[in-house]
């Protein structure tokens, strides 16, 4: 889920409450005291750690675990941005899947993204493309 990736990227899960308990997931669902459509994060599960939207078909793996549920209040702007990021990934799937930045034929030459480095600043990623727009919600340190 893109919201999970965004929250991890900006070190901000928009937590409004944490529930520590023993939780049981049965038939792919978990009963929680959350609002329909509210995002939440499962922490401490063997199979299901991550961010989900309450009230949707979750399709979680059945288990009982001792952990935490983080109730989240994700701003509408972040939700809209996640949809825009999803669309950007679809629109740029070809460029994202190739290691080449440019090619030419005839005397054939090519250049790799980042000069072949995986940690360069010219890498085409959703994180780099949307960084300035994500910065408004970025936390320097995640204390969760």
- In this prediction, residue 93 carries a pLDDT of 83
133: pLDDT strictly greater than 60 = yes
Record the pTM. 0.79
Among the residue ranges 3-17, 20-34, 110-124, the one predicted with the least confidence is: 110-124
> pLDDT of 90-118, one tens digit each?
998 887 776 665 556 666 655 555 544 34
Cα separation, 69 vs 50, in Å, equals: 10
Q: What is the mean pLDDT of the chain?
A: 87
CB 134 within 8 A of CB 84: no
H helices present in 30-130, as ranges: 76-91, 93-97, 126-129
CB 91 within 8 A of CB 72: no
Tokens of 104: 């030419």
> pLDDT of 46-78, one tens digit each?
999 999 999 998 889 999 999 999 999 999 999
């Amino acid at each position: 889920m893109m919201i999970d990736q965004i929250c991890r990227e900006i070190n901000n899960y928009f937590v409004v409450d944490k529930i520590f308990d023993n939780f049981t997931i049965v038939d792919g669902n978990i009963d929680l005291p959350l609002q329909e459509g509210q995002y939440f994060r499962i922490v401490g599960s063997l199979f299901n750690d991550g961010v989900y939207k309450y009230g949707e078909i979750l399709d979680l793996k059945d288990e009982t675990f001792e952990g935490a549920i983080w109730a989240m209040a994700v701003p509408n702007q972040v939700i809209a941005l996640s949809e825009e990021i999803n669309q950007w990934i679809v629109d740029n799937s070809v460029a994202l899947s190739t290691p080449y930045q440019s090619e030419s034929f005839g005397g054939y030459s090519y250049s790799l993204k980042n000069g072949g480095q995986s940690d360069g600043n010219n890498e085409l990623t959703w994180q780099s493309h949307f960084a300035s727009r994500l910065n408004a919600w970025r936390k320097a340190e995640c204390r969760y």
